[in-house]
Structure 1
Amino acid sequence: MAKIHKLEEKVELNCPAEKIFEMLRAKQSDIPEICSDKVPSIKVHQGDWLSVGSTRKWDLNIGEKSTYIIDRIDAIDEENMKITRSVIEGEIMTHYKSLVGYVQAIPKGNDNKSCIFIGSLEYEKINEDAPEPKEFLNFGIGVIKELGHSLNSVVN
């Protein structure tokens, strides 16, 4: 039977939950402008930017390494500001049978000037020697922090 593993990270961002959710849902094409050192480009691979089932190719600089992933939008929960995506291609998939990412923005406080961002990965290793995708999750959280800082500058 397959063993599904999970990693999760929570960070507080000084930007409205709606802004970070909108960036990750509908304005992904703006991410390379904000984080060009980490994400040089994102392009629609199949479909569009918004529809469940659509795929995008992300060029990434993780540490000193350039790589890419292709991910698919599996679900968008507007009410809970949560997005589910599966990585379906890329070098990282040499270690995993499946790799599903979840992102969620939760408003903090009554003034909605900050939020809690939750990023998590559920994955099945190809074999027990495969590494946990901690570096990939930490990279994603680093991008989110940069986006949150940029969105905070725009809001204030």
Structure 2
Amino acid sequence: MSLFGKVETDIEIKASAEKFHEVFSCRPHHISNVCPDKIQGVALHEGDWGNEGSVICWDYVHDGKTSVAKEIIEAIDMENKSVTFKVIEGDLLEHYKSLKLIIEVSQKDEGSLVHWIIQYEKLNEDVVDPHTLLQFVVDVTKDIDSHLAQA
């Protein structure tokens, strides 16, 4: 059994790819206003919003537990509308040696397609694949889409 893995999913949304991408690339601190039941806060620790290399700390509720994740924005691709976050501290690293979350958004005729990828290395074979984390980001995606549709 490999300790390395990847889980991914696609979510169709009504919002434009540009607007949705902007939330994660430039305004992640607004996400706690959109879904406060899931994301309690997003704080900038280093750098500037919307810049690669910036460090962001997320306070969130996952699997019924209040958690923290400190992430560095590894890459922002405005043209291809993707953002890569690498977890560098926090609760997730109790189970995973490394974890990256990649979000890619592509425009469709109506709405957009959001593609989430979670790449990880488990600390040991007893650690489960991060399917509940994938469901968490799907739920956050739907909340953001609903918010953007109302705006």
Give the deviation of 1:90 after TM superposition.
0.9
Deviation by residue 1:113-141 (Cα, 9 ceiling, x = unmatched)? 40000011010111111111111111111
* Structure 1 counterpart of 2:6: 6
Q: Tell me how far apart the structure 1 counterparts of residues 84 and 74 of structure 2 sit (CA, whole Å).
A: 5
* Structure 2 counterpart of 1:15: 15
**Residue of structure 2 aligned with 1:118, choices 111, 115, 124:** 115
Q: How many residues align?
A: 150
Give the deviation of 1:6 after TM superposition.
0.5
Give the deviation of 1:63 after TM superposition.
3.6
Deviation by residue 1:49-94 (Cα, 9 ceiling, x = unmatched)? 1221111110001242111101110011111101111011111111
Give the deviation of 1:42 after TM superposition.
0.3
TM (normalized to structure 1)? 0.92
Give the deviation of 1:5 after TM superposition.
0.5
* Structure 2 counterpart of 1:102: 102
Gaps of 5+ in 1: none
Gaps of 5+ in 2: none
Instruction: Determine what percentage of the aligned residue pairs are the same residue.
Output: 33
Secondary structure, counterpart of 2:116 in structure 1: strand
Give the deviation of 1:3 after TM superposition.
4.8
Q: Which amino acid is 1:136 matched to?
A: L
Q: Tell me how far apart the structure 1 counterparts of residues 15 and 46 of structure 2 sit (CA, whole Å).
A: 31
Secondary structure, counterpart of 2:39 in structure 1: coil
Q: Tell me how far apart the structure 1 counterparts of residues 3 and 90 of structure 2 sit (CA, whole Å).
A: 21
Q: Hey, which bits of structure 1, 4+ residues long, moved more than 2 A?
A: none
* 8 Å CA contact retained: 2:72, 2:88: yes
* Structure 2 counterpart of 1:35: 35
Q: Tell me how far apart the structure 2 counterparts of residues 91 and 33 of structure 1 sit (CA, whole Å).
A: 22
Correspondence 1:134 to 2:135: no
Q: Tell me how far apart the structure 2 counterparts of residues 127 and 104 of structure 1 sit (CA, whole Å).
A: 29
* 8 Å CA contact retained: 2:42, 2:57: yes
Secondary structure, counterpart of 1:40 in structure 2: strand
Secondary structure, counterpart of 1:135 in structure 2: helix
Give the deviation of 1:4 after TM superposition.
2.6
Q: Which amino acid is 1:151 matched to?
A: L
Over aligned residue pairs, what C-alpha RMSD do you find?
1.2
